[in-house]
Amino acid sequence: MSKEPIPFLSLEPQHTQIKTAVQQAVQQVYDRSSFVLGEEVSAFEKEYATLHDTTFCIGVGNGLDALTMSLLACNIQTGDEVIVPAHTYLATWLAVSRAGATVIPVEPEESTFNIDVSKIEAAITPRTKVILPVHLYGQACNMTAILELAEHHKLFIVEDNAQAQGSRWLKTLTGSWGTVNATSFYPTKNLGALGDGGAVTTSSEDLATFVKQYRNYGLAEKNIAVYLGINSRLDEMQAAILRIKLRHLEAWNEQRRELASLYLEQLKDVGDIVLPLSDKEAYHVYHLFVIRTAFRDKLSIYLAERGIGTMIHYPVPPHLQKPYKALNFRKGDFPLTEKIAETCLSLPLWPGMTAQQVERVCKGVREFFQ
């Protein structure tokens, strides 16, 4: 068996596949000398909206801004509450705080890692304005239940689709269920740019207009401002690259799913490992393949010594991060989230990874438990 190191993530196979197309696209943008809000951004916005069957897509600077602007589009006011998963990447919470609202965390389901929909209703108060589901690690949340709750309580839904481009709930793409939805094109995402990028999708013309203006200094037209906006625009180079990658997204997600099924098969009944559960209504696109074990730290060191990279998503939950001290969260407040933070381990997985590489990772994991 090969002794070549297996990194946690390699973009090389994807980037080799599209190298010539990307070079040509970059050259075209260069030759056109139009670098901000030009024809590549418009074309990408149309293609991404069409894919999601939403009327509008607005390309923005990154996922955090996409989420923040989505929330602001829902007319968030100070004192409003937003229901968020306790177990998520910090950026989800930051967006709520930056929009001026208060985070109301809800524990995850242990099996899928996504927000536990059975616990959302108890968190709703008269101040609740938005439910913010995060399709974590590439798996859709239970959008049927979330939609029902939102309709019943007259709340907005803002999806955080940063980790789940191409994933579906009941055959409908994530990023198209909410009132207004945000995604990130950070380079490691399933649809990643070669730098920062993000987008907002919505079928509301008013909300789309708000985001379109807000991302560009709040300008309604040249030199006429209507909001205290920001500068957060997807740039032409990134849009041109994303248009190429978008054509491969489905095939790359299929590869992720095949690799995940190899892991699921080969890591069955190994040590105390808890494998990720894919909900039968969800088309999981495995942005990350996350296992759980009480021996997480030792396992990750053991694998590293054998040249196998792993990562932890995420070792410190948002409620235990310093900026959230002001909300008086304490260790023990969200025990399931904390348990996941202490036991989760992400194994290598990327489009173009080989079955032999998965086999070597699994062999390493099995040897550790022997």
Binding site residues, ligand PLP, CB under 6 A: 62-64, 67, 88-89, 91-92, 134, 160, 162-163, 184, 186, 196, 198
Q: Residues with Cβ < 8 Å from 24, sequence gap 6 or more? A: none
Residue number with CB closer to ligand PLP (115 or 260): 115
* CA gap 212, 232 in Å, rounded: 10
Q: Which residues contact 64 (CB under 8 A, 6 or more apart)?
A: 91, 94, 95, 98, 184, 198
- Shortest distance, position 192 Cβ to ligand PLP, whole Å: 10
Rg (CA), the chain: 21
Is the Cβ of residue 252 or residue 368 nearer to ligand PLP in the bound state? 252
CB nearer ligand PLP, residue 92 or residue 346 = 92
Q: How far is the CB of 85 from ligand PLP (least distance, A)?
A: 9
**Which token pair is 155?**
């709340």
Q: Which tokens in the block code for residue 209?
A: 């207009």
Nearest CB to ligand PLP, comparing residues 17 and 188 = 188
- Contact between residue 133 and residue 146 where contact means Cβ atoms under 8 Å apart: yes
Smallest gap from Cβ 361 to ligand PLP, in A, equals 23
Angle between helices 39-52 and 236-246 (to 10 degrees): 40
CA distance 183 to 204: 17
- Residue number with CB closer to ligand PLP (67 or 150): 67
Question: Nearest approach, Cβ of 154 to ligand PLP (angstroms)?
Answer: 25
What is d(CA 302, CA 298) in angstroms, rounded to the nearest whole number?
A: 6
Residue 160 CA, distance from chain mean position? 6
Rounded to 5°, the CA angle 165-169-170 comes to: 135
Q: Whole-angstrom Cα distance, residue 314 to residue 134? A: 14
- In the bound complex, which residue of the shown chain has the CB atom lying closest to ligand PLP? 63
Minimum CB distance to ligand PLP, residue 313 (Å):
8
CA 67 – CA 65 distance, rounded (Å) = 5
Q: How many CB atoms lie within 10 A of CB 295?
A: 15
Which of residues 66 and 303 has its CB atom nearest to ligand PLP in the complex?
A: 66
| 193 φ/ψ angles, rounded to the nearest 5 degrees | -85, -175
Measured from the CB atom, the residue of 134 and 173 that comes closer to ligand PLP is 134
Query: Least distance to ligand PLP from the beta carbon of 67, Å?
Result: 6
- Minimum separation from the CB atom of position 105 to ligand PLP (A): 14
Q: How far is the CB of 24 from ligand PLP (least distance, A)?
A: 26
Considering beta carbons, is residue 168 or 287 the nearer one to ligand PLP?
287
Q: Which is nearer to ligand PLP, 162 or 303 (CB)?
A: 162
Amino acid identity for residue 257 in this structure: R
* Vertex 352: Cα angle to 57 and 240 (nearest 5): 30
Minimal distance, residue 141 CB to ligand PLP, in Å = 12
Name 30's Cβ contacts closer than 8 Å, sequence gap at least 6. none
SS3 14: helix
